[in-house]
């Protein structure tokens, strides 16, 4: 009886946990997204985005840490659109940023980027 009560309570507790905001296609992808440092981001397919919003303009350095054969990053910043080539960095000053892969990624490919922020 205790075992069945424990199983029922565990099942109900797990049902109360909110669902994650990213697709459940790969446990590895979920682990990487949950445990990466705050200045690092991973994009796994062309629909992934990294969004940054600030109250005032910020100088932000965005780097594509992927190899030279990658697709690069598409960066929208306060109505403008720019790109960051694979293996390079670019500096932008804006309040709102939307960062996406610049093209289609191969399945199970991890596009790695970093963000350095300075008040500007």
Residue 19 has what pLDDT? 34
Residue 93 has what pLDDT? 95
Architecture of domain 23-119: Sandwich (2.60)
Let me know: does 10 contact 61? Beta carbons within 8 Å.
no
Domain boundaries, the chain: 23-119
pLDDT tens for 41-65 read 888 877 788 999 999 999 999 999 8
Local confidence band at 119 (pLDDT 50, 70, 90 cut-offs): low
Q: Cα–Cα distances in Å, from 114 out to 73, 99, 117? A: 11, 11, 10
Residue 70 has what pLDDT? 83
């Amino acid at each position: 009886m205790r075992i069945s009560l424990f199983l029922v309570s565990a099942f109900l507790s797990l049902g109360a946990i909110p669902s994650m905001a990213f697709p459940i296609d790969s446990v590895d992808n979920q682990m990487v997204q949950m445990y990466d440092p705050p200045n690092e981001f991973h994009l796994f397919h062309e629909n992934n985005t990294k969004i940054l919003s600030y109250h005032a303009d910020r100088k932000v350095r965005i780097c594509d840490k992927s190899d030279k054969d990658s697709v690069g990053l598409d960066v929208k910043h306060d109505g403008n659109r720019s790109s960051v080539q694979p293996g390079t960095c670019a500096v932008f000053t804006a309040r709102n940023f939307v960062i996406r892969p610049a093209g289609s990624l191969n399945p199970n490919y991890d596009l790695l980027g970093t963000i350095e922020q300075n008040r500007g």
